[in-house]
Amino acid sequence: MSEKKQAAALLMGPLVHLLHERGLDGDAILRRHGLDPQMVQDPEARLDAAVSTALLDDCLQELGDPGMAIEVARHAQYNTFGALGLAVAAGGDLYSVLNRITRFHRLISDLVTTDLIADDHSVALRFTSNTDHQPHPQAIVFVMATIVRLLRIRIHRDHNPVAVCAPEWLEPGLRQAMARYFRCQVSVADHYSLAFDKDNAQHMLAASDVQLAAMLDATLAQRLAASEQAALASRLALWIEQRLPDGEPAQADAATECCMSTRSLQRRLADEGLSWKQLLEDTRKTLVERHLRTPGMTVTQMAFLLGFSEVSAFSRAFKKWYGVSPSQFR
C-alpha cells in the first residue's frame, strides 16, 4: 500500500530566517517550489518529502554552507515543534523529555522512526529511515541540533551529548559542523543518534511543570491516535480505489495489506466511526463523483471502474446514493 510520506514544515520558519539573515529572498525560494510563505507561521503544516528534499537542496546551493542544518537550528524555539515543543518545554526529567519525543515524533514526520535506546551508561535517541529513500540529512541533523539547543536552554548551556552517530556517506562539511556544535566526535553508524549520560537522565529540567507536561501528554496522545486513524482510512481508500477495477476487494485482503487481523482492522475502523462496508461505499461514491465529471464516461465503464460485477448492480447502488439512476442524474 503506497502513500506519500510527509514531514511537518517545522524547519521552514527558522530556514527562512537564516536565508533572510544571509541576504537571500527566502519567500521567493519557497514560491519557486510552489510553497506559500505563510506556511512558515504554521508549525503543523505538512510538506511532501519530494518537495522538502528539493527545497533543502536549493537552499544548500544558495547558501553554500554544508552546515546549514546547524545554522537553521540556532534560530529554532520551542514553538518550532508546535504542540510537541510545548510538551518538551513543560519539562520533567531528561529521560521523560526524550521519551516524549520518541512517542510523539510521528506528529512531526513519518519519514523516520525514533527509538529510545538505553544501556548501562547512556540513553539515546535513534533516528532510522521509515521509507525506501533516505530522508534529507539536513532535515534530520536540524532536528538533532534543535533538541540539543532546547536542552541547553533548559539544563545548561554546556549540556552536550556524550555520543553522536551518523551514516558514513554524510557530507564531510556537515559532519564537521555537527562535531563542533555537539562538542563531540561524530561516529559512523547506519543511523543517526544522540546519546546522553544516563546518570543525568533523572535530573529535572529547570522550571519543570509536571502537571502541564501530563496534560500536554494526554493532548498529544489524542492527536496521535486521531492522526493514525485518519492515515489508516486514507491508505485503505487509496488501496480500494486501485483494486476496484478487478472486482470488489475483500476485507480480509485489506487486513493482510495492513499487517493486521481482520478483527483488528474492524476495531481500528470502528474507533474512527467507520465500518469496512461504509469505507468501501464512501470510496465508490467519491470515485463516481469524479467519473461523472469525465466527458464521455459511460455507465458501463463506471460500473467496471467501481468494481461492480454487473451494470444493474451499479445502477441500484447509484439510485440508493442519489435517488435517481445514472442516466437521470446526468
Q: What is the band of 328 on the pLDDT scale with cuts at 50, 70, 90?
A: confident
Per-residue confidence (pLDDT) for residue 113, from 0 to 100: 78
Residue 265 clears pLDDT 60, i.e. is over it: yes
Residue 202 clears pLDDT 60, i.e. is over it: yes
Q: Summarize the confidence of residues 39-66 as an average pLDDT.
A: 84
**What whole-number distance in Å separates Cα of residue 53 and Cα of residue 194?**
23
Q: Summarize the confidence of residues 27-56 as an average pLDDT.
A: 83
Of all residues in the chain, the percent with pLDDT exceeding 70 is: 82
Residue 115 clears pLDDT 70, i.e. is over it: yes
Q: Which amino acid is present at 176?
A: Q
Q: Which amino acid is present at 266?
A: Q
321 CB-side CA count, 13 A: 19
CB 62 within 8 A of CB 23: no
Q: Does residue 10 come out as left (phi exceeding 0), alpha (psi in the -120 to 50 range) or beta?
A: alpha
What angle, rounded to 10 degrees, do the helices at 276-292 and 210-243 form? 60
Per residue in 131-149, is it b (16+ CB within 10 Å) or e — as a string?
eeeebbbbbbbbbbbbbbb
Per-residue confidence (pLDDT) for residue 4, from 0 to 100: 47
Quote the DSSP letter at residue 105. G
Where helices occur in the chain by DSSP H, the ranges are 12-21, 26-32, 49-63, 68-73, 82-90, 94-104, 137-154, 172-182, 210-243, 251-257, 262-271, 276-292, 299-305, 311-322, 326-329
**What whole-number distance in Å separates Cα of residue 220 and Cα of residue 229?**
14
Beta strands in the chain (DSSP E): 6-8, 46-48, 112-118, 122-129, 163-166, 186-188, 192-197
Per-residue confidence (pLDDT) for residue 3, from 0 to 100: 44
Per-residue confidence (pLDDT) for residue 277, from 0 to 100: 93
267-299: per-residue pLDDT in tens? 888 877 889 999 999 999 988 887 887 777 888
Per-residue confidence (pLDDT) for residue 207, from 0 to 100: 57
Per-residue confidence (pLDDT) for residue 158, from 0 to 100: 79
Residue 63 clears pLDDT 70, i.e. is over it: yes
pTM: 0.65
Place of cell 555537527: 178
Helix, strand, or coil here: 44?
Answer: coil
Q: What is the band of 313 on the pLDDT scale with cuts at 50, 70, 90?
A: very high
78-90: per-residue pLDDT in tens? 667 666 676 666 6
Per-residue confidence (pLDDT) for residue 87, from 0 to 100: 66
Quote the DSSP letter at residue 229. H
Q: Summarize the confidence of residues 24-50 as an average pLDDT.
A: 83
Residue 172 clears pLDDT 80, i.e. is over it: yes
**What whole-number distance in Å separates Cα of residue 32 and Cα of residue 21?**
19
Structural domains of the chain, with CATH: 6-208 (3.90.1520.10), 222-329 (1.10.10.60)
Q: What is the band of 2 on the pLDDT scale with cuts at 50, 70, 90?
A: very low
Residue 248 clears pLDDT 70, i.e. is over it: yes
Phi and psi torsions of 298, nearest 5°: -90, 165
Q: What is the band of 228 on the pLDDT scale with cuts at 50, 70, 90?
A: low
Where helices occur in 244-310 by DSSP H, the ranges are 251-257, 262-271, 276-292, 299-305
Q: Which amino acid is present at 308?
A: F
Per-residue confidence (pLDDT) for residue 235, from 0 to 100: 78
- In 3D, which of 199, 112, 204, 114 has the Cα closest to residue 162? 199
Residue 20 clears pLDDT 90, i.e. is over it: yes
CB 16 within 8 A of CB 30: yes
Phi and psi torsions of 288, nearest 5°: -65, -35
Q: Provide the edge-to-edge strand list for the sheet that holds 163-166.
A: 112-118, 122-129, 192-197, 163-166, 186-188
